[in-house]
Amino acid sequence: MKTVTIALQRLFPDRDRDLPLPGTMTAGASGLDLPAAVAGEITLAPGEIRLIPTGLVMAIPEGYEGQIRPRSGLALKHGISLINSPGTIDSDYRGEIGLPLINLGPAPYTIRRGDRVAQLVIQEVCRVELRLTSDLEATVRGGGGFGHSGV
């Protein structure tokens, strides 16, 4: 397994020293859990969207991106997700990592300081070189439209 070093800073080191740094919960986990840097607690009503702060900034190396993803347990048990899932953190972004959470569940959900509310996965990216052409090679699926598998 490849190791990538990412520089991480707390925006408010004195205020957030009680919060855990992002980390994995098991040896095989690919996502780093991100804690909510809220003061006290925030309750999301059904259908409500809120930007939840993490208090963290990072320098992702060029050639990589950070993908912010929902936590599966929160999604299944409470309907908590990310409105732009997965979110992307580009290698040249240096602002605070914010988590645009949405409550898709039927009941209000309370987020408490330090709760693990999303996860960060680091992925390699490749540069794309587009080549405009007048024809494309045919496939079995063809141009059947959105959701069409061709069979």
Encode the chain in three state secondary structure.
CCCCCCEEEECCCCCCCCCCCCECCCCCCCCEEEECCCCCEEEECCCCEEEEECCEEEECCCCEEEEEEECHHHHHHHCEEECCCCEEECCCCCCCCEEEEEECCCCCEEEECCCEEEEEEEEECCCCCCCCCCCCCCCCCCCCCCCCCCC
Residue 150 has pLDDT above 60, yes or no: no
Residue 91 has pLDDT above 60, yes or no: yes
Pairing assessment for the beta strands 80-82 and 56-59 based on DSSP bridges: unpaired
Q: Which pTM does this prediction carry?
A: 0.87
Residue 2 has pLDDT above 90, yes or no: no
Residues in a beta bridge with 57: 9
* pLDDT for the residue 151: 55
Q: What is the mean pLDDT of residues 91-109?
A: 97
Q: What integer best gives the mean pLDDT of the chain?
A: 93
- Token duo for residue 11: 């925006």
Query: What is the total residue count of the chain?
Result: 151
* pLDDT for the residue 70: 97
* pLDDT for the residue 129: 94
Residue 23 has pLDDT above 70, yes or no: yes
Q: How confident is the model at residue 97 (pLDDT cuts 50, 70, 90)?
A: very high
* pLDDT for the residue 149: 65
The answer to whether 19 and 8 are in contact (CB under 8 A) is: no
Q: Residues of the chain with pLDDT > 70: what percent? A: 95
Q: What does the pLDDT look like over 26-60, one tens digit per residue?
A: 888 899 999 999 999 999 999 999 999 999 999 99
* pLDDT for the residue 140: 78
At the topology level of CATH, where does 7-124 sit? Answer: Deoxyuridine 5'-Triphosphate Nucleotidohydrolase; Chain A (2.70.40)
* pLDDT for the residue 120: 97
